[in-house]
Amino acid sequence: MKSRILTLLTAMILFAVLAIPLQTSAGVSQGKIITFDIPGAGTSAGQGTFAIPLNDWNLITGYYIDADGVYHGFVRNPNGSFTSFDPTGSTGTGPFSLNDWGATTGYYVDASGVCHGFLRTLNGKITSFDPAGSTCTVSENINLFGAMAGEYYDANGVIHGFLLTPYGKMISFDAPGAGTDANQGTFPYAATCLNISGTIVGGYIDGNNVQHGFLRKPDGTIITFDPTGSTATFAWTMNDQGEIAGNYNDANGMSHGFVRNPKGVITKFDVPGAGTGSGQGTFAYANNLEGVIDGGYIDANGVQHGYVRSPKGVITKFDVPGAGTGSGQGTIPAVINLEGVIDGYYIDADGVYHGFLRLP
């Protein structure tokens, strides 16, 4: 269970239907890129700084792994200063999301190895919470009004989605068709899966261990979906217009990007230069209110690169200076805000992680 949660921290950043082929060319524009490391971050392979979400004021949250392999949360202010934090009793802290008020949510692990959700306000006050029956809680999303969404595990290891309203009401939900065995069930994804209306997007694993996308409306209605040809669907993000972006695997294990509009029409796309082997391809991680998508692609050599896709389908590639060029190294974008600023992290040639901010 804990291994899936830790994998989610990195996989979230790594990792009728209408198919419209990409008809635009891809350019390369690095933009202005700022790199950073939080004080106290480890400098060995597998350690370092992981910038995950940012808000429209360029406030960033994320986590860093110190020299002892311990996870800690941090906030990076627009002026470049840092604040590190851990909930009381934490042996590992993983922030996932923050809103424009600077409130942060995520999870932490206590001394017994149990995961709990937390809310941290801009002034640093931290409150922990768990849905009834939870043996591990991961809060992954917070919207402008302070509603939070995420997942929890029950005593049998089954995963359930939850919504915690701004008024403190906890609502548990399951997608139709979600499996009921251990490590099956329903879960929102990443930092931007709960929009201002209270609509939630995410994934569920069915009884055959196949992953699908879902959309939960504010009235509790749940719609499930998959792009045609999908063997695993990853719905990573949804903007306040209700447009969803993500990626799916084909029968060969190659990943392709997709956009699902509010009417349910799905457009597929691939970044030119993306590899075509299993575990390679195109990944869409976040979209902003204007429909601009940021994501990554893995080339035929296993190197990761960033891209931005305009609402018209124009793709611009970029790499952070200093990013490694070996397999498993490179640039991993996270979230794009309304102004088109992107944050994320990169892996250097020594396997160390560093944060970055890309200005348009």
Q: Indicate if the pLDDT at residue 93 is higher than 60.
A: yes
Is the pTM higher than 0.75? The answer reads yes
Mind listing the pLDDT tens digit for each residue in 158-191? 999 999 999 999 999 999 999 999 999 999 988 8
Q: Which of 26-30, 282-286, 307-311, 318-322 has the lowest mean pLDDT?
A: 26-30
Spell out the CATH class of 2-15+17-359: mainly beta
DSSP class of 9: H
pLDDT band at 15 (very low <50, low <70, confident <90, very high): very low
Domain boundaries, the chain: 2-15+17-359
Interior/surface letters 301-318, b for 16+ CB within 10 angstroms, e for the rest: eebbbbbbbeeeeebbbb
- Closest by Cα among 223, 200, 205, 203 to 213: 203
In whole angstroms, how far apart are CA 167 and each of 148, 170, 195, 198, 345? 11, 9, 17, 13, 34
Q: What is the mean pLDDT of the chain?
A: 93
Q: What percent of the chain has pLDDT over 90?
A: 90
pLDDT at 18: 25
Mind listing the pLDDT tens digit for each residue in 254-281? 999 999 999 999 999 999 999 999 999 9
pLDDT at 24: 39
